Amino acid sequence: NVAWPGRMQKLMQGRLAELAPKGADIWLDGGHNPGAGVVVAEALAEQEEKNPRPLFLISGMINTKDQSGYFRAFKGLARHVYTVPVSLSEAGVPNDELAVRATEAGLTAEPVSSVASALMLLRDTWDGPAPRILISGSLYLTGAVLAENGTPPT
């Protein structure tokens, strides 16, 4: 059993985790290409079979990746996508453009300013069962989330 920070890592506590809806199941994964999207979507589909929860994505990506290809794997699984900027890379896709890529892949999406903003928006507007949240799309985003959450890799 190997622990690899940012690969299907569960965020159970921390500054960002505290902003999420109560009881949310939060996952962080640095996957950023269509193949990774398929693997992560399959893992989340297995979780969905065992413990059904609505899935929301919070994603930021860089411009060298196939954004629509990544998002396609989540069609029929994710309820909504919040797209965020990747501030640690000059190659970050603007969040409004990334929302268009998610929409092209058959998902509903909206740009927000940050992961924290997405979590707070979801907390303040979602009135259904405790959601499952996947924060994904970039290793840069993964590193930033771990740092902001106060849970950097050791």
Structural domain boundaries of the chain?
9-149
The pLDDT of residue 8 is 87
pTM score, two decimals? 0.95
How would you write the pLDDT of the chain (154 residues) with one tens digit per residue?
556 667 789 999 999 999 999 999 999 999 989 999 999 999 999 999 999 999 999 999 999 999 999 999 999 999 999 999 999 899 999 999 999 999 999 999 999 999 999 999 999 999 999 999 999 999 999 999 999 999 887 6
Angle at CA of residue 76, ends 9 and 11, nearest 5°: 15
- Beta strand 25-29 with 9-11 is antiparallel
Rounded Cα distance between 121 and 11, Å, is: 18
Out of 3.40.640.10, 1.10.1740.10, 3.40.50.300, 3.90.190.20, which CATH number does the structure's domain 9-149 have?
3.90.190.20
